[in-house]
A and B are shown apart, each in its own frame.
Chain A
Amino acid sequence: MPVPPFHPRAESAHHQLFDRILERVQHDLPDAVALAVTVHPRTGGATEYASCGFGSAYLAAQLSGLGGPAVDAAEYQVPVLSLELWSDDRWPALTADSIIDRVSGHDDQVRSAKGAASVPGIWRSDETVVLSCLLNRPADAGTMATLVGYEQLISAALMTSAAQEGNDVADMLAVLQSRGAIEQAKGMVMACLRCDADEAWATLRRASHESNVKLRVLAVALVEHVGRTPAEQPGNAAPIAPDERARKAARLLWAVLSRAFRPASDDD
């Protein structure tokens, strides 16, 4: 069976954003020796968006056909936890040596690695984004709880970068909409300002107050503005239809957020 391609680093103007997110994950998981954000198309293969430690080699080994938590998280669309990766019977071929073969200078770190976790994120219907970590201690349910907490930020960061690159985001928007517009808008603000959830929430509330537009309506308008398409709102509640004032408030907020984002971006 041909091995699907693995692209070590996506050519994205926004890779810095993903690097910053991984810095935060590293802060919350100080025992992590490898971290990676990868995007896996349904057709196979994967592209790395960011990594730290020997994250790149860790993912390359899994994608070379050995399998592993990240591959299973993408394939089965569930979070995958391994308490002790090198002795886990789910991936007998994934060994410390298989990773050492792909990277130099990390031998001791690779051998002493223990727990692993990968969590899939909602992004587009034909692709899955996966956040993976490998720790130098056994993993536990708390490891997964930490990663799950970052999944929404990663999805929002992908959406933000796709929107800024002018991609068609209608598909991912439809998928994302069901998560709740406020959470989504909060994720966008977090991704843009690189702030935490509390600050993002305060930013949205301030914008809502200043524009005299209800927070929920502003959130829907913001999601629609960034996606440039009407938001689908499945569910029992009556759908929110932002009026012109809400749309204007969303445009203003996004303009401010985009400017805040730009200095750290490349040359645009």
Chain B
Amino acid sequence: MKHAWFAVTPAAANRPALVVASGDIDLANVEEFRTAMTKACNGSDALTIDLTEVSYCDSTAVGALFSVAATTTLTLMIRPSGNIKTLLRISGLDRVATVVTKE
């Protein structure tokens, strides 16, 4: 299992708030992930989450992403192929968030 970390960049004049996530996101650290998203979102109505370095998201992490998408305009950055892309398609997250791919 890869250790996860989350880097928060609040919104600025020319770009939305950003959370860069890395590693496995699951029950053990989903609270930390939620906190990072809340902190980044603070006062802004758009949030970008960079998932390109995320290796795995469990059910609670996907649930947390849906909850954020319910209140914010959510953009997810992912790799053009791999299990995160598959996960977004299976869950339908790709229909409530904007998905952009990055090598």
Expressed in whole angstroms, the minimum distance between the Cβ of B29 and any Cβ of chain A is: 10
A-B contact pairs, 17 of them (CB 8 A): A76-B90, A76-B91, A77-B58, A77-B59, A78-B59, A78-B62, A78-B91, A79-B91, A80-B91, A83-B95, A119-B59, A119-B63, A122-B59, A140-B96, A142-B70, A144-B66, A178-B28
Q: Which of A142, A144, A145 gathers the greatest number of chain B CB atoms within 10 Å?
A: A144
* Contact between chains at A80 and B67 (CB < 8 Å): no
Query: Does A23 belong to the interface (CB within 8 Å)?
Result: no
CA–CA, A187 and B69, complex, Å: 25
Specify the main secondary structure of chain B where it touches its partner.
helix
Residues 84-100 of chain A: 1 if any B CB is under 8 Å from the residue's CB, otherwise 0? Answer: 00000010000000000
Query: Does A148 belong to the interface (CB within 8 Å)?
Result: yes
Query: Does B92 belong to the interface (CB within 8 Å)?
Result: yes
CA–CA, A66 and B38, complex, Å: 39
Across-interface contacts of A263 in B (CB, < 8 A): none
Across-interface contacts of A235 in B (CB, < 8 A): 28
CA–CA, A122 and B59, complex, Å: 9
Taking A77-B58, A178-B27, A235-B28 as contacts, is the C-beta distance between A83 and B92 under 8 angstroms? yes
Expressed in whole angstroms, the minimum distance between the Cβ of B4 and any Cβ of chain A is: 13
Across-interface contacts of A81 in B (CB, < 8 A): 66, 91-93, 95-96
Total cross-chain contacts (CB, 8 A): 65
Query: Does A238 belong to the interface (CB within 8 Å)?
Result: no
Residues of B within 8 Å of A, CB-based: how many? 21
Residues 60-76 of chain A: 1 if any B CB is under 8 Å from the residue's CB, otherwise 0? Answer: 00000000000010001
Expressed in whole angstroms, the minimum distance between the Cβ of B66 and any Cβ of chain A is: 4
Expressed in whole angstroms, the minimum distance between the Cβ of A67 and any Cβ of chain B is: 12
A contact residues vs B (CB 8 Å cutoff): 72, 76-83, 90, 119-120, 122, 140-142, 144-145, 148, 151, 178-179, 234-235
* Contact between chains at A78 and B69 (CB < 8 Å): no
CA–CA, A82 and B91, complex, Å: 8
Across-interface contacts of A179 in B (CB, < 8 A): 27
Residues 76-87 of chain B: 1 if any A CB is under 8 Å from the residue's CB, otherwise 0? Answer: 000000000001
Across-interface contacts of A151 in B (CB, < 8 A): 63
Expressed in whole angstroms, the minimum distance between the Cβ of B97 and any Cβ of chain A is: 8
Q: Which of A79, A83, A179 gathers the greatest number of chain B CB atoms within 10 Å?
A: A79
* Contact between chains at B66 and A148 (CB < 8 Å): yes
CA–CA, A76 and B63, complex, Å: 13
Which residue of chain A is the closest to B74 with respect to CB atoms? A141
Across-interface contacts of A119 in B (CB, < 8 A): 59, 63
Across-interface contacts of A72 in B (CB, < 8 A): 90
Across-interface contacts of A178 in B (CB, < 8 A): 27-28
Across-interface contacts of A144 in B (CB, < 8 A): 63, 66-67, 70
